């Protein structure tokens, strides 16, 4: 296809680049030879390519930033659509890294800062680039200016997406959201790609041995530490920044590119200078100038260990707050406002102006909440029942009680009263021991003889006129010998009475055993007459929750007051089935909480789900003196939270006014008492 020699007032000189659907030509103004531009020609003619080319022109025309390639014009000349953009005398970052390998640290940070600024500017306009890669970053020769280009697949907020289930961008620099569909790609997806670019500049290599998202490596994983790439001259905290930018969960990344830049600046400033010396403003009356130390947020285990998994927005707010409070003017203003809040003017006025600042230190007070779900599986007990059905049982191996997986799944912190369950593989059929498998046992009443003796009453009618005296039986008569009918007569007989009375008598009679109905045996109560038992092993299980809380050890921390007046920001909440994550125990304050939780575990009780929630409140300690002659003491006040709250402190009362107020109240009470006495 023939390329025109001229488009508008510009003459095309030579091709300087090409892509999948277009070419880039260097051109100069026909009347102004020194006026150079780059002309992009769309070589494809399909509808989607034309739509994207037009969208790039519309978006690029809105952008005015020194680190974004400037857009000049857009149009159509048979048979090409074209766009005229700023010509950059240099090369792409991709060619730069290919040529010299990893870049020098200063050059890397300079390019990173500039592209970060360009992205934040585009994001502020609701524009997501979606293809941040070295090939779309130009570095101007001589000046080192870095510029972001190629908004061909960029998207504006509210713009409809006509192509779905399509991955667009540069392989290796995709974010995980790119594989979820175009709608999932947001401004933090650009930050992920920018993190890959930063890693690429620092090491000359990619963060992974195999690019994630490809068929041979579909999943994303944390990047390899820079030391594994031969970069051993950087602080280890740089890896933490990269882990945060390349976090798989978008909410765990920095909220903006500027936040990542600020974090890198803090890291390198800590390694170059530990404190900053400032001159305090001269209060009235002006004392001698006092140098004081100020610092940002003190490094802590939470940010160091959990950094990539933290919600970055509150953390960055805390760092910005610390930076603001390093300004002596702001501290003075806060102290003055606090002193003026007291009713009746009982605090010392203009405390901020009187204070001579010595040191300002900011830190975060972290609060930890460990939520636990314990499951108890008691010792195995025997469970049995009569083998009435005589059904066959599957032959399966017996398993340990803790290897059973058919209990209700653990999905949340839900308590369960539990129940008794059978251990799989423990079923067996055995002969009933009490009846020896016969199904019946000897009757305990007759001992299997089928008969028993019973004593029962008998009555004899006495005829009228008989003598009433008893006739004794001759001695030696055997009273215990039964008669032919099995009866045993009583050994004592009375003479018939003359009256019509009935005299009671008893007899001992051999009868069938009523307990076994004369059979001599009864049905075995254990096997219910079957003679066999089905035995199983069973145990009882249950679940219950526990919550253990703690916070960083800080002297004179009024926790209840602090939570009442300041909001704690939640920055971390992660769950772990069956135990704890290793990094949790690396945090000094959290380690004893976890150790306490583990003490409650034993052979019968285990932790089946745990969750750690970390929140924090930023604090700033201000050390100062009041510049009074003879007063060499130092005072410390603490400013709490994003609300900048200061607790009451009696040391800064205006004692003259306090004493005067007390005297007035005292005399007023005396006057009231006297008046009551006089007029009552």
Q: Where are the alpha helices (DSSP H) in 101-165?
A: 105-124
Count Cβ atoms within 10 A of the Cβ of residue 389 and give its class: 0-12 exposed, 13-18 middle, 19 or more buried: exposed
Helix (H), strand (E) counts: the chain: 13, 25
Q: What does R_g of the chain's alpha carbons equal in angstroms?
A: 47
| Identified catalytic residue from 120, 131, 237, 387 | 131
What is the rounded CA–CA span in Å between residue 101 and residue 548? 51
CA 246 to chain centre: 18
Query: Which residues in 489-531 belong to E strands, given as ranges?
Result: 502-512, 521-523
Q: Cis (ω within 30 of 0) for the bond into 120?
A: no
Between strands 356-377 and 291-297, the pairing is: parallel
What is the rounded CA–CA span in Å between residue 448 and residue 438? 14
Q: Cis (ω within 30 of 0) for the bond into 79?
A: yes
> By three-state DSSP, how is residue 567 classified?
coil
> By three-state DSSP, how is residue 52 classified?
helix
Give the CA distances from residue 121 to residues 81, 114, 117, 245, 579, in Å, rounded to whole numbers and listed in that order.
28, 11, 6, 18, 44
Whether 131 sits among the annotated catalytic residues: the reply is: yes
Backbone angles phi, psi at 330, to 5 degrees: -70, -40
CA 493 to chain centre: 98
Question: Is the sign of the CA dihedral 478, 480, 484, 487 positive or negative?
Answer: positive
Residue listed under structure tokens 């030879």: 33
CA 263 to chain centre: 23
Between strands 137-140 and 6-7, the pairing is: unpaired
- Side-chain-side CA neighbours of 287 within 13 Å: the count stands at 15
What is the rounded CA–CA span in Å between residue 206 and residue 214? 14
* Pair 162, 143: CB distance under 8 Å: no
Listed residue (666, 664, 657, 662) closest to 345, CA to CA: 657
Partners of 506 in the β-ladder: 457
Partners of 384 in the β-ladder: 535
Structure tokens at 240: 């933490």
Give the CA distances from residue 21 to residues 14, 40, 163, 164, in Å, rounded to whole numbers and listed in that order.
18, 10, 17, 20
Q: Where are the alpha helices (DSSP H) in 276-311?
A: 301-306
Backbone angles phi, psi at 562, to 5 degrees: -65, -45
Neighbours of 516 (CB within 10 A): 22
Partners of 573 in the β-ladder: 613
CA max distance for the chain: 171
Residue listed under structure tokens 């299997």: 448
Listed residue (587, 506, 599) closest to 550, CA to CA: 587
What is the rounded CA–CA span in Å between residue 447 and residue 393? 38
Please tell me what DSSP assigns to residue 446: T
* Pair 63, 122: CB distance under 8 Å: yes
CA 107 to chain centre: 38
* Catalytic center residues: 131
């Amino acid at each position: 296809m023939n390329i025109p020699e001229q488009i508008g007032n510009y003459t095309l000189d030579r091709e300087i680049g090409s892509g999948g659907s277009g070419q880039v030509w260097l051109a100069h103004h026909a009347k102004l030879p020194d006026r150079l531009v780059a002309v992009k020609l769309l070589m494809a003619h399909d509808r989607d390519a034309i739509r994207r080319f037009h969208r790039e022109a519309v978006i690029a025309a809105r952008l005015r930033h020194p680190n974004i390639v400037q857009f000049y014009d857009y149009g159509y000349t048979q048979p090409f659509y074209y766009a005229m953009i700023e010509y950059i005398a240099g090369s792409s970052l991709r060619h730069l890294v290919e040529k010299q390998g990893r870049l020098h640290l200063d050059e890397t940070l300079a390019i990173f800062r500039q592209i970060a600024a360009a992205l934040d500017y585009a994001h502020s306009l609701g524009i997501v680039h979606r293809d941040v890669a070295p090939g779309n970053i130009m570095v101007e020769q001589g000046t080192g200016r870095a510029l972001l280009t190629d908004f061909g697949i960029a998207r504006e907020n509210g713009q409809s997406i006509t192509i779905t289930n399509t991955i667009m961008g540069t392989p290796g620099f995709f974010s995980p959201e790119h594989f979820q569909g175009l709608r999932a790609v947001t401004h933090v997806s650009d930050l992920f790609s920018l993190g890959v670019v930063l890693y690429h500049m620092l090491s000359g290599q990619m963060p992974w041995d195999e690019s994630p998202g490809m068929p041979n490596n579909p999943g994303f994983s944390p990047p390899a530490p820079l030391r594994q790439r031969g970069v051993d001259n950087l602080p280890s905290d740089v890896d933490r920044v990269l882990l945060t930018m390349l976090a798989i969960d978008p909410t765990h990344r920095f909220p903006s590119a500027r936040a990542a830049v600020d974090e890198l600046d803090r890291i390198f400033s800590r390694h170059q200078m530990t404190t900053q010396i400032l001159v305090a403003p001269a209060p009235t009356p002006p004392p001698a100038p006092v140098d004081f130390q100020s610092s940002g947020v003190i490094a802590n285990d939470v940010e160091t260990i959990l950094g990539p998994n933290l919600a970055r927005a509150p953390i960055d707010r805390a760092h910005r707050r610390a930076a603001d409070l390093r300004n002596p003017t702001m501290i003075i203003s806060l102290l003055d406002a606090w002193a003026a809040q007291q009713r009746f003017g009982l605090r010392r006025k203009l405390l901020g102006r009187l204070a001579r600042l010595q040191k300002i230190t900011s830190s975060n007070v972290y609060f930890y909440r460990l939520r636990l779900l314990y499951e108890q599986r008691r010792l195995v007990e025997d469970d049995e029942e009569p083998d009435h059905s005589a059904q066959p049982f599957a032959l399966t191996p017996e398993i340990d009680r803790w290897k059973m997986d058919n209990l209700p799944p653990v999905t949340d912190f839900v308590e369960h009263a539990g129940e008794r369950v059978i251990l799989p593989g423990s079923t067996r059929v055995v002969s009933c021991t009490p009846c020896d498998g016969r199904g019946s046992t000897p009757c305990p009443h007759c001992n299997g003889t089928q008969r028993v003796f019973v004593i029962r009453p008998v009555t004899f009618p006495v005829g009228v006129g008989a003598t009433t005296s008893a006739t004794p039986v001759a001695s030696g008569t055997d009273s215990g010998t039964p008669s032919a009918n099995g009866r045993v007569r009583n050994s004592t007989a009375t003479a018939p009475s003359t009256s019509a009375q009935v005299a009671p008598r008893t007899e001992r009679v051999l009868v069938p055993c009523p307990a076994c109905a004369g059979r001599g045996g009864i049905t075995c109560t254990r096997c219910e007459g079957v003679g066999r038992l089905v035995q199983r092993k069973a145990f009882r299980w249950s679940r219950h929750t526990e919550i253990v809380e703690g916070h960083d050890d800080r002297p004179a921390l009024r926790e209840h007051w602090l939570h009442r007046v300041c909001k704690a920001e939640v920055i971390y909440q992660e769950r772990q089935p069956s135990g704890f994550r290793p990094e949790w125990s690396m945090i000094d304050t959290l380690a004893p909480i976890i150790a306490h939780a583990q003490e409650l575990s034993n052979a019968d009780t285990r932790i089946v789900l745990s969750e750690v929630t970390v929140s924090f409140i930023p604090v700033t300690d201000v050390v100062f003196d009041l510049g009074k002659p003879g007063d060499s003491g130092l005072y410390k006040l603490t400013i709490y939270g994003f609300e900048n709250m200061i607790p009451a402190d009696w040391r800064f009362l205006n004692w003259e006014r306090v004493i005067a107020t007390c005297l007035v109240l005292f005399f007023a009470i005396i006057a009231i008492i006297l008046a009551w006495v006089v007029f009552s």
